[in-house]
Amino acid sequence: MQIEGRNPVIEALKARSDLKYIILDEALEPDPKINKIRKLAAQREVPVRMKPRKYLKKISQTGTHQGVIAVKNEGKAPSFRQLVEAVPLESSPFFIYIREALYEHNIGAIIRTAEAAGAHGVIIPPKAKITPQVIRISMGGTEHVPVIQEGLFPVIKQAREKLGLKVIGIEVSGENYYYQEDLSGPVLFIIGGEDRPLSDEITSKCDAVVKIPLRGYLNSLNMSVAAGIVLYDKVRQEMSENV
């Protein structure tokens, strides 16, 4: 797996991700971020290889590598149950399932927001992929929050029956607005896709389905925007409880 771009590579180094090596454009002028990458790589004992710009261009999978590409060892991902059980006792398990995403930008943006909001994990369907483009768009979020692939219905079953998480769907057909629902505590959010809403079969298995007010002519929001609004209301509610 490749990690491309200065900020994502810095975050991978800060997170002590298992990097094989880092490739730098040999023509790069020193700057604060390149210097930081070199310093962190030396501290983590990650080899740095200098290569011509045309080499990085050839191997880049995003087209926006900024002269920096890291190659990462891929280990075995944990299961959803293992993710939940790894959450410290004093913290409430908090996850989001991305039901369907046709665009890498949306997956990356949701991962970035989930990490910033303090989520303990992001789950995607088995057919979805975490690509270098997703990693880049997440701005290194994939290095700080676990991202796993698992089927939706097994995850819902475990969340509700075995792990004690409230399951909340995010969909325009929701009965309550997101700010009317208690989003605090252990929760699994499920966000629908760009072109396909959460099915009746899915919503029937949720403890609640929430919607976002729409006052314009359009009947939906971009899924990453919708996820951000709801996830941050969970943050707001929990911060208000502690005031």
pLDDT over threshold 60, residue 243: no
What residue ranges in 28-130 does DSSP mark as E strands? 48-51, 68-72, 94-98, 121-124
- Using pLDDT thresholds of 50, 70 and 90, give the confidence band for residue 208: very high
3-state secondary structure of 126: coil
- What pLDDT band is residue 89 in, cutting at 50, 70 and 90? low
Q: Does residue 163 surpass a pLDDT of 90?
A: no
Q: For the chain, what percent of residues have pLDDT higher than 90?
A: 70
Q: What pLDDT band is residue 86 in, cutting at 50, 70 and 90?
A: confident
Indicate the range of 86-90, 115-119, 182-186, 211-215 predicted with least confidence: 86-90
CATH number attached to the domain at 2-72: 3.30.1330.30
Determine what percent of the chain is predicted with pLDDT higher than 70.
99
- Sorted by sequence, the CB contacts under 8 Å of residue 243 that are 6+ apart come out as none
Query: Per the structure block, which two tokens stand in for 16?
Result: 């002590």
CATH number for the 80-241 domain, one of 3.40.50.880, 3.90.79.10, 3.40.1280.10, 3.40.50.2000? 3.40.1280.10
pLDDT in tens, 135-148: 999 988 999 999 99
Start and end residues for every CATH 3.40.1280.10 domain found in the chain? 80-241
